[in-house]
Every structure is written in structure tokens, then in C-alpha cells.
Chains A and B, each alone.
Chain A
């Protein structure tokens, strides 16, 4: 009993390495932040695992125009889109991130208004839905005419979403001349052969 009470009274050894460890978990870090200056608009690459943000504030139905050769997407305002029926398509724009932290907007095709079914579009929408809760990889299956969707095993860390609002992300993607809000937009002129 004596020895126990003596031990309790003994001051801790200041030279004990256990008490001297500097825990890196308490390190505040350098404070350096990467700036997000551009958000590409694209579909997920076939070799990347990605996630879609589940938050309903980070998705919006919209019309887009795609220049296939240039692989460029343009946002089209509803007023202009109404008169460009053959050129634009309706999508749900969603914010996504890859495992390596690349942030991008994915124009997920919406169901056709005439009710026609398209397996590519349907499987893409299903991939987006799965990607809300799991890391997903999507690759084209040409034989089956749809996307194959694979999910990563559980246990991978959740994505770090950018702090920007969805409006800011859309501005980063379409702000520099990528918004078609008038018939005089250079892209429409080009399509009209002017």
C-alpha cells in the first residue's frame, strides 16, 4: 500500500519519452489552400472513381449546348433554349469529384420528354445516384449499349467538397463566355453559318 501511495505521489518523469511526443494530429498545418479557378464540364472518365454531391442545392436542371468537336459545353438560358430545340439538350447539372480531388460538373442526361428510352442515359443517371453514397466508376459497354457501373469497396474516405456555393461553381464553369443568353452569342452565329 505504501509503495502504491508513494508511486501516486511521485511526480511524472519529465524525461520520459512518452510525455515528450509531439503529436502530428495537433499540428495546425501550413494553412495553404488550393484555389479553385476553373471547373471543367465533362462526364466522368472511364478510369476514375467519382462521387456526386447528394445535397439538392448542388444540382440543377438546365439546357446545354455541346460542341462535339471542341468538346465544349455551353449553358443556355431557358429563353434562348426554347428556340434551339434541335441543338440543346436537357440535363441535370451535378457537382462531382474524383478520388484525386478533381472537381467537375457532370451534365447528367434527363429522361426524354417524349418518353423514348435510352439505356446510355438511364445507366448514367443510375451511376449518378449510386455515386451519391459510394465511390463509383462508369465505363462504356459498347456491346450492351449502356454504361457499366462499378462501386469501390467500403472504407474509402468521403470526398472533401469545395466550400463554394453551387452558383459560384457554375460561374467558374460557364462564366467566361460559356453562357449563351442571347441569339447574338458567337457560338450561335457560327452554328447559323454567319
Chain B
């Protein structure tokens, strides 16, 4: 470990056994500067050192400065140095040193010196980068404190990455051993009703014949070929439930590689959260290494260890709350506050009587829900009609009603798009920005800009909540979009989940403004039960039945 004091230039070089005590203060009158601080913070946790109170993470700041316009050299430390025309060590040299560190000990005295020199070169690089970033960012004192909030999250993210998510490793190992058999059996079990597979190969022509036989219309590419991407399958499955099993099967066969899951010897799934990687500032962990990737049935592998419990706490209808609060649209906020924004919209738009409920007007509510979800992404009437199973005229009418009912929101949303198209920056309530400078060469997608404030402010909410929860000594194992996964003993899990929900409410109020809080839902699982995502339950049961049959040697 190498550190330097910005004020005195004093240098600390520590190796191995020297690391038992933290050599500097981590109090709130010190500023800890790093590039990708979650790595350092994670290391501090392992060493038992205190976490730094104030952190400036130059990675997060570099991302904030270049978000949208992009940079030619990537987001790594070397990329940032090159971006500002600063000297850097070569990428190859960095690679060699990383390999040497990852090889593990014992290291010779010469290798030890080389590794410490490498660490010091990184520290010097951070020192060179700091003034460049401060100058480019033109930070006011408030901006600087907001940057420290981003650093605060990076430190908390290090703790989350260390905790990891507990898995049923025994079951994972059984699945991995039989996975090829299970895949073959899955094809047989599901394809018997469809006849579209040749072995484990999906045959588009057979699928086309199946669709024709059942008179199911299917979106096509310009070339005339069937659209076979997962999103199309997802939408079509909602309209024609008979094709849903085909989607599940394709997912399981095509994208799922159990070996890719990052599982430690203690049976916990740990992967880098990749904080601030998305343009919205959201985390972007690897889909294949993270258990909360797209194969939802796999989440049933999550199981608390003996004597422990897990709580999945998610903000409900977070995007609607953000849209209503930040646009200042009182009708939209009232719809959110009513507890059921979809039925509230149906009433506000005159589609349902004031006495309507989810039970009395399910069709109207579902249609309004699709409009809410679709408008967030600038979806067309055609897209919404497909998704909600409505006639296009119904979808057009509902879209118009949404625009008419929530005019204040739409004015705000369109102004955000205008701003981006003019080359002006957009920012969240805590200063995360996206900026497409004129002539940056990037084409701007108005649909993603429309949704950016909701996603980016949602990310702010999540970062504040994770920071506060980790500082309150809650064991947050993972952030998952608009939810947090918490672990505690079975005796404490209820109380701690309530505490986390309160923290998430506080974080939402910080983002949305005084008096505006986002509700949250709590789902608790206790050992020996396993976590379940309702979208993957049927598939998980199918897989389990096939696994048991394979283990019994049945065909």
C-alpha cells in the first residue's frame, strides 16, 4: 500500500505485516482521494481499518465530467490521464504489474519493490489527475461536497461488494454438474408442444410455421425475417402467453452459463458493482457474473445461510414518484401518493369512476399501467398497443389522455429533451450530469433523454440509501436497480428491514424534496427458504424436476 499526503508530500509505503494498522487518519477533517475508491474501501474493510469519512473519487468525477460526450481513451485511470494529456505508465506495464499482484505470494524482494513502485506510480498519477479534474469541473464548494457524496457511495459500494450475496452452493454445484443434461431435457420437455427445435438448435423456419398454424402475428425485421430478440419475445409473451415457455427456454439455452457466476469459496456471489458505469449513473454489474442478471429463475439459488434471513426492500413505482415530484406536476404526484397511480390515472382521465379500484376495473388499470410504463420510455402508440394488448386506437387515446392529464410533467420532460438537443447539460438533484456538447459526434436518442431524469435521480436515491444503510451497520448485500438486498440474523431481519425501509424513505425525500417520500415494499426470506422472483418460479420448478430426474438416472 502506498499513500501520499497532499499537503506535506509525506509518503507511506507499507507491505504485508506492516498493514495491521491504518497509517493515516480517516476522520471527517481528512479527504481521501482515489481513483475507483470502492477497491481501496473494500481492502480497508478486509484489513479492519476504518472507512474514510470524506472521499473524492476521481473515477466518479471523470465519469460525471465526460458523461454523454464520451472520451476516447476509456474510463480507466490511464484513459483519464490521456484525456487530459497527462503522462501515464503504459497499459502493458500496468497489466504486467496487475498479473504479478494477482499471481499471489510469495514475492521476491525485487518483486515487492516493483509492486510498491507500481502502487506509487498509481498514487502519483492520481495526484497529477486531481488538479486537472478540479479545473475541468470548475467545482463550487457545493459541487465539491456533492462530489464527496459520490465518493461516500464508492466507499459504501466497497462494503457491499465485500459482503456478497449468499447462494445455495450445493444446489449450484448440482446444477452445474447436470446442466448439459438439463438443457437437453428442457428442450424435450418444452418443445414437445411446439416442434421448433432440432436437438438444442432453435429453427426459425419451424417457429414461423408454428406461428402461422396458431395465427399469431409476429414483428419482423426490415429484411422480412422474424424478430427474435428477447424484448420481442418478452412483449409477445404478454400478448400470446402460449409463446412464453419458448422465451424461457431460449433464455436458458442461449445466455446462461452457470460457470460465469462469480462465487467465492464461502458460497457468496461477489462481483464488482461497476458504480457510475451507466449514463444514468446507475451500477452496471456484469450480467453473467451477477446473480441478479437477466435469468430470473436463477435467483432462486439465493438462500440465506443457517440462522440468517434476507430482506428484499424495493421502492414502489419509483419512476412515477420521481416524475411527479421533480416535474412539479401536482396531478402526477397526487396519483403517486394515492397508492395506486394507475387507477388514479384512470379516474383523473375519466376512464373509470371515482369509486373504481384495482378489483373493480382491472382492465382499465392494466391499460393505464402500460401507458405509464411506456411513456417513461417514449414508447409509441403502436408499441404500447402491442405491450398492453390494446387496439392501436385505444393506445393513441390513452397516450393523448396521459399528455392532457399530466401536462406539467410533459412540458418538463420535453424541455429536458430540448435542453439535451441544444447541447445543454441535464443534472440530477445531487449533480450527476449528462452532457452532449455540440459537435460531440454522438447522436442523441430523445427517448432515452426522456427517461434519463427518472433513472438518474433513481440512482441518486439508491446511492444515498446504500451509503446511509452501510454507515448504519446494515449488511446490504446488493443494490438491484430500485431495490436493496439486506442480510441479518433471523432474530433481527424484521427490525433491520424496517430500518432499511426508513432509510430508503429518507433517501427518497432527499432526492424528491421535503415532504415527498417514495414508499417501499419489504419481502423477507428466512433460512431454509430460498429467495424467489415470481417471474422465474415456474422455470425454476421445471429445472429442479429435471435435475432430480437426471440425478435418479431417469431419461
Interface residues, chain A, CB within 8 Å of chain B?
Answer: 14-15, 17-25, 29-30, 32, 47-49, 98-101, 152-153, 155-157
Say yes or no: A15 contacts B141, CB within 8 Å: no
Asked if B326 lies at the interface with its beta carbon under 8 angstroms from chain A, I say yes
* Complex alpha-carbon distance, A165 and B141, angstroms: 47
Out of B403, B430, B513, which one reaches A100, CB within 8 Å?
B403
Structural contact, B397 and A23, CB atoms closer than 8 A = no
A157/B149 contact (C-beta < 8 A), A22-B430, A24-B326, A30-B419 known:
no
User: Of residues B145, B149, B511, B513, which shows the largest number of chain A Cβ atoms within 10 Å of its Cβ?
Assistant: B145
Among the listed A14, A23, A30, A101, which residue makes an inter-chain contact with B429, where contact means beta carbons less than 8 Å apart?
A: A23
Give the residue among A98, A100, A153 with the most B Cβ atoms within 10 A.
A100
Given contacts A14-B145, A32-B422, contact A25 B328 (CB under 8 A): yes
- CB of B427 within 8 A of chain A? yes
Residues of A within 8 A of B327 (CB): 24
Per-residue contact bits, chain B 394-406, to A (CB 8 Å; 1 contact, 0 not): 0001001001110
**Given A22-B427, A157-B408, CB of A30 within 8 Å of CB of B418:** yes
Closest residue to A29 on the B side, CB-wise?
B415
CB distance from B333 to the nearest CB of A (A): 12
Given contacts A22-B429, A157-B331, contact A15 B54 (CB under 8 A): yes
Q: B502 within 8 Å of A by Cβ? A: no
Q: Select which of B412, B430, B513 is within 8 A of A20 by beta carbon.
A: B430
Q: Collect the chain A residues with CB atoms within 8 Å of residue B141's CB.
A: 14
Residues in B with CB closer than 8 Å to A153 are 348, 350, 354
Given that A14-B145, A15-B145, A155-B331 are contacting pairs, would A21 and B419 also be in contact in the complex, using a CB cutoff of 8 Å?
no
Please, how many angstroms separate the alpha-carbon atoms of A30 and B28 in the complex? Answer: 38
Is B253 interfacial (CB 8 A cutoff)?
no
Q: Does B183 contact A (CB under 8 A)?
A: no
Complex contact A17–B149 (CB within 8 A) = yes
Residues of B within 8 A of A98 (CB): 404
What's the Cα separation between A30 and B54 when bound, in Å?
34
Q: How near does chain A come to B417, taking the closest CB pair, in angstroms?
A: 9
**Would you call B243 an interface residue if the criterion is a C-beta within 8 Å of the partner chain's C-beta atoms?**
no
Q: Is B422's CB under 8 angstroms from A22's CB?
A: no
Bound-complex Cα distance A23 to B325 (A): 11
List the B side residues contacting A22 at CB < 8 Å: 427-431
Question: From B142, which residue of chain A is reached at the shortest CB distance?
Answer: A20
* Pair B407/A157 contact, Cβ less than 8 Å: yes
B72 to chain A, nearest CB (A): 28
* Majority SS at the chain B contact face: helix
Q: Which B residues lie within 8 Å of A152 (CB)?
A: 350
Closest-CB distance, B86 to chain A (whole angstroms): 29
Tally the A-B contacts, defined by beta carbons under 8 Å: 75
User: Is B459 at the interface (CB under 8 A from chain A)?
Assistant: no
Contacts of B148 in A (CB 8 A): 15
Task: For A18, give its contact among B28, B408, B510 (CB under 8 Å).
Answer: B510
**B397 x A17 contact (CB < 8 A):** no
* Interface residues in chain B, defined as those with a beta carbon under 8 Å from any beta carbon in chain A: 28, 54, 141-142, 145-146, 148-149, 326-328, 330-331, 348, 350, 354, 397, 400, 403-405, 407-408, 412, 415-416, 418-419, 422, 424, 427-431, 464, 510-511, 513
In the A-B complex, the 9 residue pairs with the smallest Cβ-Cβ separation, listed nearest first, are A99-B404, A30-B419, A32-B418, A30-B418, A24-B326, A17-B510, A100-B404, A15-B145, A29-B415
Set of chain B residues within 8 Å of A17, measured between Cβ atoms: 149, 430, 464, 510
User: What is the CA–CA distance of A155 and B327 in the complex, to the nearest angstrom?
Assistant: 17
Inter-chain contacts of A20 with B (CB < 8 A)? 142, 145-146, 149, 430-431
Expressed in whole angstroms, the Cα–Cα distance for A122 and B24 within the complex equals: 85
Structural contact, A21 and B510, CB atoms closer than 8 A? yes
Q: How far is the CB of B328 from the nearest CB of chain A, in Å?
A: 6
User: Which residues does chain B contribute within 8 Å of A21, judged by CB atoms?
Assistant: 429-430, 510-511, 513
A27 to B: closest C-beta gap in Å? 9
Query: Which of B424, B464, B510, B513 touches A30 (beta carbons < 8 Å)?
Result: B424
Contact between B331 and A100 (Cβ–Cβ < 8 Å)? no
A30–B145 touching, CB < 8 Å: no
Chain A residues whose CB sits within 8 angstroms of the CB of B419 once the complex forms:
29-30, 32
Contacting residues, chain A, for B328 (C-beta < 8 A) = 24-25
Bound together, the chains give a CA A2 to CA B405 distance in angstroms of 54
Across-interface contacts of B429 in A (CB, < 8 A): 21-24
Residues of A within 8 A of B407 (CB): 99-101, 157
B408: nearest residue on chain A (CB-CB)?
A157
Contact B405 A99 (CB under 8 A): yes
In angstroms, Cα B512 to Cα A18, docked, is 11
How distant is B460 from chain A, measured CB to nearest CB, in Å? 9
What is the CA–CA distance of A22 and B456 in the complex, to the nearest angstrom? Answer: 14
Query: Which residues from chain A contact B511 at a C-beta distance below 8 Å?
Result: 21
**Distance of A155 Cα from B418 Cα, bound (Å):** 28
Contacts known (A20-B142, A157-B407); A32 close to B430, Cβ less than 8 A: no
* Complex CA–CA separation, A20 to B148 (angstroms): 11
Q: A22 to B412, alpha carbons, bound, how many Å?
A: 16
Q: Which of A21, A101, A157 has the most CB of B within 10 A?
A: A21
CB pair B408–A49 under 8 Å, yes or no, is no
28 contacts between A and B (CB under 8 A): A14-B141, A14-B145, A15-B149, A17-B149, A17-B430, A17-B510, A18-B510, A20-B142, A20-B149, A21-B430, A21-B510, A24-B429, A25-B328, A29-B415, A30-B418, A30-B422, A30-B424, A48-B404, A49-B404, A98-B404, A99-B403, A99-B404, A99-B405, A153-B350, A153-B354, A156-B331, A157-B330, A157-B331
